[in-house]
Chains A and B, each alone.
Chain A
Amino acid sequence: MFDKTAKKIVLTVQDYSLFSYRAAQNLFKPPIYWPEFLVQSDVIGFGSASIVLLSGFFTGGVLALQSAATLSEFGATAMTGRFVSLTMIRELGPVLTGIMVSGRNASSMASELGSMVVTEQIDAMRALGVDPMRKLVTPRVCSCVAMLFFLTILANAFGILGGGAVTVLMNHQDANQYFSTAWEALRYPDIIQGLVKPLFSGFIIASIGCFYGMRTTGGTEGVGRSTISAVVTASVLIIFVDFLVTQVMLATFSK
């Protein structure tokens, strides 16, 4: 039983590695389906903007509320801006955006491709001489990486704004003080850390979503299973990789 499960996990990791390699490799050999990149960028980027923007805004707000309560015990409520901006840019912005986009897009990719597999549309595409990896997977992966980068910037900006709104409107503090401490606290390593993470998250979301979609079996029930596996695996991997990247970044920039 243990043997079987271990073998299954190793084989899945091997298949996923090969799948990801092929998706990335297709970028360097024609044909490249550029219109698909634009369509997917619109679906992932523009389509996810509202949920990312709202979740970023309210997370920033909550951060301001919680931190102000704690900081006031030390008479340091003036540091709220610093706390919110650092937390949003280094950690919460990238992770939250990843999780939100994963819930929306990894699921849609897995269910869309899974449905295509069970209705033989993927086989039909291959029979018509078109490589589904090139046509469906590579554009999704690349668009997701690019769009997650910008969505994270959006989430960070709206998180700081949300924190500012709470600080000014609910905690009745000075806006200038909030934004100046938020700005002054930031260093380049913080920004680099915050902008490297979405590149990994974007790759994880699209590659996991497409991977589970393309290996769907068992009809419509199988599509449901693939969708759940995609969202769960992508979300856990985003947090795990975030931990690894943070470790590497802290080690790199502390030298």
Chain B
Amino acid sequence: MNLTADHATHGTAPAAGAEPVVAFSHVSISFFGPPVLDDVSFTVAPGETRILLGPAGVGKSVLLKLANGLLRPDEGSIRLFGQEISHMKDEKLFPLRARVGMVFQESALFDSLTVRDNVAYQLIGERVPDDVIDARVREALTFVGLADTFGFFPGSLSGGMRRRVAIARALIHGPELVLYDSPTGGLDPITSTTIIELIMKQRDVSRTPSILVTHRLQDAFTLSTHRYDVEKGGMVPLPEGQTDPGTTFMMMESGRLIFDGSVHDLVHSEDPFVKEFLE
């Protein structure tokens, strides 16, 4: 697909002027040394998918953990669902976090619980009846194509399967924002494509806003140049030169956000780091 062709868009653009789901304003954080994030500002609009690119160790995962209050910034402000969370007490943050789905880099499944109990973790905490839980877990596992792993323990699953279970766990509660931390990291190309297709499905079917951290350009461009076809049950390429308007890009280098814009802007960027990264 030729991304340098005349820029056109396909699908639904994020609502203009609506209050951002996430808003970072001049956020900095450090851990006993130089800043890991330095003066980072960006927003995620309703329905928007933001892909955060950058090499390993530039602070992408830290940014994601700041977005749902797992870490607190040293400076700056972070707003989640319109509420300032940078100094919010943990007690008040828990209900907000329950509205956010998060997929961790290494899946972070509870290894002493079955797949069913992992996926249903929030529902069990809310004392939802067992039969309802079973039905919803089966639905979530079917969504990620793992309906037959219901009673398995995470230890008996492959890396790709664990990642898909983690996606099911993040999505079962109908999140209003999804944070994906390198969901395809360390996976083979076929499994990576399956994971990207799932993320695309969530984006196009539920229009859930998300931040996706990755260092794999191929995954990022696939998300921008494809859409999920419900009837076909898989992803299909957008017409030549068209991109998803709700999928935008950010790039980090040494804790600083050096790019924020569309895929078109990204491929035409004159920034030497961006150019080198794309090459």
A-B contact pairs, 25 of them (CB 8 A): A119-B106, A119-B108, A119-B111, A120-B104, A120-B105, A120-B108, A123-B65, A123-B70, A123-B108, A126-B90, A126-B97, A127-B68, A127-B100, A128-B98, A128-B121, A128-B122, A128-B169, A129-B95, A129-B98, A129-B122, A130-B94, A130-B121, A130-B122, A130-B125, A131-B90
Find the residue from A31, A123, A125, A131 having the highest chain B CB count within 10 A: A123
For chain A, residues 102 to 145, give those with C-beta under 8 angstroms from any C-beta of chain B. Answer: 116, 119-121, 123-131
For chain B, residues 228 to 264, give those with C-beta under 8 angstroms from any C-beta of chain A. Answer: none
For B143, list chain A residues within 8 Å (CB).
none
Closest to A116 in B: B110
Main SS of the interface on chain B? mixed
Report Cα–Cα, A123/B97, bound state, in Å.
Answer: 11
Task: State how many residues of chain A have any CB contact under 8 Å with chain B.
Answer: 14
Given A129-B97, A129-B122, A130-B121, A124–B104 Cβ distance below 8 Å?
yes
For A31, list chain B residues within 8 Å (CB).
125
Report Cα–Cα, A131/B125, bound state, in Å.
Answer: 11
Task: State how many residues of chain B have any CB contact under 8 Å with chain A.
Answer: 22
Report Cα–Cα, A58/B98, bound state, in Å.
Answer: 52
Shortest beta-carbon distance from A96 to chain B in Å: 30
Q: How many A-B residue pairs have CB under 8 A?
A: 54
For A129, list chain B residues within 8 Å (CB).
94-95, 97-98, 122, 125
For residue B198, CB closer than 8 A to chain A, the reply is no
A127 touches B97 (CB 8 A): yes
B interface vs A, CB < 8 Å? Answer: 65, 68, 70, 90-91, 94-95, 97-98, 100, 102, 104-106, 108-111, 121-122, 125, 169
B125 touches A124 (CB 8 A): no
A120 touches B106 (CB 8 A): yes
A121 touches B108 (CB 8 A): yes
Report Cα–Cα, A60/B89, bound state, in Å.
Answer: 51
Report Cα–Cα, A130/B104, bound state, in Å.
Answer: 16
Shortest beta-carbon distance from B222 to chain A in Å: 26
A127 touches B102 (CB 8 A): yes
A interface vs B, CB < 8 Å? Answer: 31, 116, 119-121, 123-131
For A124, list chain B residues within 8 Å (CB).
102, 104, 108-110
Given A121-B108, A123-B65, A123-B70, A131–B94 Cβ distance below 8 Å?
yes
Closest to B94 in A: A129
For B70, list chain A residues within 8 Å (CB).
123, 126-127
Closest to B69 in A: A126
Report Cα–Cα, A129/B125, bound state, in Å.
Answer: 9
Closest to A33 in B: B125
Report Cα–Cα, A125/B104, bound state, in Å.
Answer: 11
B104 touches A123 (CB 8 A): yes
A121 touches B95 (CB 8 A): no
Report Cα–Cα, A129/B126, bound state, in Å.
Answer: 11
Beyond contacts A121-B110, A128-B98, A129-B95: 8 other A-B pairs, Cβ-Cβ < 8 A, are: A121-B109, A123-B65, A126-B90, A128-B102, A128-B121, A129-B125, A130-B94, A131-B90
For A131, list chain B residues within 8 Å (CB).
90-91, 94
For A116, list chain B residues within 8 Å (CB).
110
For B102, list chain A residues within 8 Å (CB).
124, 127-128
For B125, list chain A residues within 8 Å (CB).
31, 128-130
Shortest beta-carbon distance from A189 to chain B in Å: 43
Find the residue from A31, A123, A124, A125 having the highest chain B CB count within 10 A: A124
For B68, list chain A residues within 8 Å (CB).
127
Closest to A123 in B: B70
Shortest beta-carbon distance from A214 to chain B in Å: 13
Report Cα–Cα, A121/B100, bound state, in Å.
Answer: 16
Shortest beta-carbon distance from A62 to chain B in Å: 39
Report Cα–Cα, A130/B95, bound state, in Å.
Answer: 9
Report Cα–Cα, A77/B136, bound state, in Å.
Answer: 72
Report Cα–Cα, A124/B166, bound state, in Å.
Answer: 10
Shortest beta-carbon distance from A213 to chain B in Å: 14
Report Cα–Cα, A120/B110, bound state, in Å.
Answer: 9
Shortest beta-carbon distance from B237 to chain A in Å: 33
Closest to B68 in A: A127
Closest to A124 in B: B108
